[in-house]
Amino acid sequence: MLTEEPEFALANPGEKYQSTDVMSRRKLPMRRMVIAGNCSGYWFIHYERGGIAHSYALVFFQPDSKREMAFVWGGRGFYGASNCIELRNAIASKKFAEDHPFPW
């Protein structure tokens, strides 16, 4: 599984989530969405991930022939874009690295 977890838990923007490695509440997700959307047939999720090293991730999916979402690309970094223009610029300036294994 892409996340190495049984479920991809993701808090909505502004909601509480587990932002550090100190467990404050067991039920809080480790991820919180920043921006999500569709661009040219690709769906993306930009989210922050808590834990030992707070970071940001960006993942792209595309529907396959069965209309199920297939992972296309993912990168991680320490930059959180607040809108699609900032996100596009962050991708162009390579603020998200894809060279390390990462459980999305």
pLDDT digits (tens, 9 = 90+) for 52-62: 888 999 999 99
- Is 6 inside a domain boundary? no
Segment 69-92, tens digit of pLDDT: 999 999 999 999 999 999 999 999
- Is 44 inside a domain boundary? yes
The domain that holds 37 is classified in CATH as 2.20.25
Q: Which residues touch 103 (CB under 8 Å, ≥6 apart)?
A: 2, 3, 4, 5
| pTM for the structure as a whole | 0.84
- Is 10 inside a domain boundary? no
Tokens 């930009």 correspond to 46
Rg (CA), the chain: 14
Q: Say if residue 34's pLDDT is above 90.
A: yes
Band (pLDDT 50/70/90 cuts) for residue 101 is low
- Is 62 inside a domain boundary? yes
Structure tokens at 65: 């022939």
Range of the domain at 48: 32-92
- Is 50 inside a domain boundary? yes
Please tell me the total count of domains within the chain.
1
Q: What are phi and psi of 45, to 5 degrees?
A: -135, 125
Tokens 């997700």 correspond to 29
- Is 80 inside a domain boundary? yes
Nearest to 26 by CA among 37, 17, 38, 13: 17
